Structure 1
Amino acid sequence: MIGSVQRAMRLLETVAEHEHGAPAKQLARKTGLALPTAYHLLRTLVHEGYLYRERGLFFLGEAAERLSSSGAEQKRRSTIAHTLAQWRDLIGVPLYYARYRDGEIDILCVSETPGNPAVHEWADFRETGHAHAIGQCLLFQLDEDARRDHLDRYPVQSLTRYTVRDAATLLRRLERVGRMEPVTERQEYVLGTVCAAVPLTIGDAAATIALSLPARQSDRLLPAARQLQREMGRRVGSLALAISI
């Protein structure tokens, strides 16, 4: 073990326990360090941005806060990935988690297996939201102005012979979707694949969890989507925490 690293980490942990800051002498005493050693490590941590000093007191710095934020973000993503893997194995389908952020469709996690592979992104998912269930489900959760803005930036285009033909038709379709109904598309993004997406709206965040199946198994699409919806209902608390990024 590298002793200086251990001592520095103890100092960081001790500073974190003092919301209103702590002087070097108190930190040295609480960590069992000699005062000169504590001063040397504290100066190094300040120089690197992990601490800052104000009126003789030490506080966590921006670098430490970034570590904390990144750790929380990683934990939330891990929660989503673990949950999707459980549902993937239970339902027997590949699953996708996506959000609408800053005007863009953002697919954050895909859970697949060799026996149940995910859809190949042959056309940019962000630019073809009109054609796949993920995008349609996210657009459904937006207000009318936001939908039109998205479609102005990413106009409807035909990807297969089943793709919706124009924005007006897509908007009318979205208006007919029930509030918590799964959104489905059949071979609109890619031939041979059908998809369903379940809305996950918590606060102002538009999100969805979706699944895909080979077109030859299209009779499974709605039952699988309903099963996914039930599982989501049982885990809504942890999902709410995970998407509140």
Structure 2
Amino acid sequence: MQRAMRLLECVAGHEHGAPAKQLAREAGLALPTTYHLLRTLVHEGYLRRDSGLFFLGEAAERLSSRGAQEKRRSTIVDALDQWRDVIGVPVYYAIYRDGEIEIMCVSDTPGNPAVEEWADFRETGHAHAIGQCLLSQLDEDTRRAHLDRYPVQSITPYTVRDDRAFLQRLDRTARMQPVIERQEYALGTVCAAIPITLGTTVATMAISLPGHQADRLLPAARQLQSEIGRLLGSLALSISI
């Protein structure tokens, strides 16, 4: 599914179409694998082939329509609501797009409220688990460009102090492991974020808890990671396109 998503995203970046060899190179896929996936996507209507070039097909174009966008958003919201109830924590979904951290949706309850955005989430990605998780999935140049726009600043006494220390911390972040943050964005709050990479889409699902429930954070994050893994296939199109 991830490889098919990468191909769709590559094709979407070529208004006038692209040949299989170019798409394989851009998606980082072996040519035989690329041909197999392209044939499948053409058969399903997500791509069309014309004179050796591949274009988005009617099925992919329908996915980008307003009604389809609302349906995809509803799919993600329903998943967040389910995880909120099963795990008993607020759940967040965010992506990194066009150089910005975007909180797409949040699911919480009066008994388990989400963290209040008291400092702009876009400008303080170094301080919260969501931003740290998204930035950890980027290449070094993109990270540095982000920090040039939004330099590290002290949000609480626990916030990382400078760009160098923050970048070193990101380099030590284990791939596909939960990113944990304790009171770096909001005093009295601990958070964890799960990295999600589908094609070129960089995303995360995250949770937060009051500081006095910090011992629940890692088990809850592991539970969320398991739930995401179980439903990722059905959520892939909603997240990636």
Task: Identify the TM-score tier after normalising by the shorter chain.
Answer: 0.7 to 0.9
Matched position secondary structure for 1:201 = strand
Match of 1:233 in 2: 229
Instruction: Classify 1:165/1:68 alpha carbon distance in 2 versus 1 (closer, same or farther; 3 Å).
Output: closer
Give 1:172-191 correspondences, 5 Å limit.
172-191=168-187
SS at match of 1:147: helix
Partner of 1:111: 107
Q: Count matched residues.
A: 181
Equivalent in the alignment of 1:11: none
**Aligned twin of 1:126:** 122
2:63–2:69 CA contact under 8 A, matched in 1 = no
What residue in structure 2 maps to residue 166 of structure 1?
Answer: 162
Report whether the alignment pairs 1:212 with 2:208: yes
Unaligned runs of 5+ residues in structure 1 are: 1-64
Larger RCO: 1 or 2 (CA < 8 Å, sep 6+): 2
Structure 2 gaps, min length 5: 1-60
Aligned partner of residue 195 in structure 1, secondary structure = strand
Instruction: State the AA in 2 paired with 1:169.
Output: A
Cα distance in 2, alignment partners of residues 94 and 214 from structure 1: 11
Name which one, 1 or 2, has greater alpha-carbon Rg.
1
Alignment pair present for 1:149 and 2:128: no
**Cα 1:241–1:110, aligned 2, differ >3 Å: closer, same or farther?**
same
Alpha carbons 2:62, 2:68 under 8 Å: kept: no
Is structure 2 residue 217 aligned with structure 1 residue 221? yes
Match 1:84 to one of 63, 80, 83: 80
Spell out, residue by residue over 1:27-46, the C-alpha distance to the aligned partner (whole angstroms, 9 max, x if none).
Answer: xxxxxxxxxxxxxxxxxxxx
Task: Look up the match of 2:91.
Answer: 95
SS at match of 1:185: strand
Equivalences for residues 194-213 of structure 1 within 5 A: 194-213=190-209
Range with bigger deviation, 170-179 or 139-148:
170-179
Looking at structure 1, the residues matched to 97 and 64 of structure 2 have their Cα atoms a distance apart, in angstroms, of 22
Instruction: Name the % identity.
Output: 75
Q: Residue by residue, what CA displacement relative to the aligned partner does 1:77-128 show, whole Å, maximum 9, x if unpaired?
A: 0000000000000000000000000000000000000110000000000000
Q: How far apart are the structure 2 equivalents of 1:66 and 1:123?
A: 37
**Equivalent position amino acid for 1:182 in 2:** P
The 2-side partners of 1:74 and 1:133 are apart by 27
Tell me how far apart the structure 2 counterparts of residues 239 and 206 of structure 1 sit (CA, whole Å).
14
Number of the residue aligned with 2:28: none
Deviation at 1:244, TM superposition (A): 1.7
Distance 1:101 1:68, change over 3 A: closer
Where do residues 6-155 of structure 1 align in structure 2 (5 Å cutoff)? 69-155=65-151
Q: Deviations over 1:142-183 (max 9, x none)?
A: 000000000000000001000000111111111111111000
What TM-score, normalized to structure 2? 0.73
